[in-house]
């Protein structure tokens, strides 16, 4: 009997925590099912010339069974995801984990199943995003004025950056490094681990620990494939995904400190905003947050932020 083939796609270098977590997933499935399944990880389709966003269509159509992907690209299918794209909402990642592992995550997963036929197996920690740029230190909204910043294909992210004075330039991950090296963009935002692993810091020596966004990456499975697997395969995949998600989150928290040390050692200028400086950024984007708050179901932002959201709204 032929083993069941389970193909998983990604868009990051092998050392990334997302790909390392995907390896944990594959090993967990293999440990439970042995040779009855074959797990294949193609962790960096970008290196082969594909757009990262191709993964979403590949999983939806069944070309592959699994991928991880930033939830920012899924807001059109699940409007509540917009809450994860609002700035300065999540201050403690553990609070976001609790929301995504609870009723908010269940709501998002149901929306994605209905709109795209995805089976969500977990929510990875996509990290706190920080600004890097090649021009000057960023300590205040005035320092953002006129800087061309690469953004995700997220209308909300672009709206936030315009409120701060940036000029948003949406680009796929495939085109990010070329744009940074050519100076097509002056700035970008990413978790520290990506800034280091993608070698962005070699061009962008100014890094501001803004933590303006915290993101999630959904572990997506083709719903039809999941449904036709035997029960023991579904159970093994679900259990292994829970383990991989927990390990990915552990690595994400640890990686922040490790990446910061590496960036300091590389000679980057690190700006840590004071409370007053951070409050100025929060104030600049407050109208964007409040407009979207009115469009979201009651309690969504509070579920992600806990008491921090109330404090942020007053800043």
Segment 20-35, tens digit of pLDDT: 999 999 999 999 999 9
Domains of the chain with CATH codes: 4-314 (3.40.190.170)
* Cβ count near 98 (within 10 Å): 15
Average pLDDT over all residues of the chain = 94
Stretch 204-229: mean pLDDT: 97
CB neighbours of 281 closer than 8 A, spacing ≥ 6?
87, 88, 140, 141, 164, 210, 212, 273
pTM for the model stands at 0.89
CB neighbours of 257 closer than 8 A, spacing ≥ 6?
none
Segment 148-198, tens digit of pLDDT: 999 999 999 999 999 999 999 999 999 999 999 999 999 999 999 999 989
Whole-number pLDDT of residue 29: 98
- As a whole number of Å, the CA-based R_g of the chain is 19
Segment 72-97, tens digit of pLDDT: 999 989 988 999 999 999 999 999 99
Per-residue tokens: 65: 């069974």
Spatial separation of the C-alpha atoms in residues 291 and 106, rounded to whole Å: 24
Q: Within 13 Å and on the Cβ side, how many CA atoms surround 274? A: 3
């Amino acid at each position: 009997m032929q083993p069941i083939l389970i193909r998983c796609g990604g868009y990051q270098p092998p050392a990334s925590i997302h790909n390392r977590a995907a390896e944990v997933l594959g090993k967990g499935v293999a440990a439970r099912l042995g040779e009855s399944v074959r797990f294949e990880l193609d962790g960096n389709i970008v290196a082969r010339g594909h757009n990262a966003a191709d993964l979403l269509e590949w999983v939806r159509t069944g070309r592959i069974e699994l991928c991880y992907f930033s939830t920012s690209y899924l807001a059109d299918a699940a409007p509540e995801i917009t809450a994860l794209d609002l700035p300065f909402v999540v201050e403690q990642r553990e609070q976001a984990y609790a929301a995504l592992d609870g009723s908010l995550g269940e709501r998002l997963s149901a929306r994605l199943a209905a709109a795209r036929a995805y089976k969500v197996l977990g929510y990875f920690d996509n990290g706190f995003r920080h600004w890097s740029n090649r021009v000057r230190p960023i300590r205040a909204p005035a320092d953002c004025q006129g800087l061309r910043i690469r953004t995700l294909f997220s209308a909300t992210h672009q709206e936030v950056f315009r409120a701060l004075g940036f000029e948003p330039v949406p680009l796929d991950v495939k085109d990010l490094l070329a744009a940074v090296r050519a100076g097509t963009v002056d700035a970008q935002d990413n978790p520290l681990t990506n800034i280091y692993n993608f070698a962005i810091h070699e061009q962008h020596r100014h890094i501001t620990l803004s933590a303006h966004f915290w993101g999630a990456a959904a572990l997506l499975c083709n719903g039809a494939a999941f449904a036709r697997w035997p029960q023991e395969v579904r159970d093994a995949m679900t259990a292994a995904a829970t383990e991989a998600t927990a390990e990915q989150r552990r690595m994400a928290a640890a990686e922040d400190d490790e990446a910061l040390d590496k960036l300091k050692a590389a000679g980057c200028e690190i700006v840590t905003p004071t409370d007053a400086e951070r409050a100025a950024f929060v104030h600049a984007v407050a109208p964007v947050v409040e407009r979207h708050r009115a469009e979201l179901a009651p309690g969504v932002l509070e579920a992600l932020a806990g008491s921090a959201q109330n404090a942020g709204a007053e800043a």
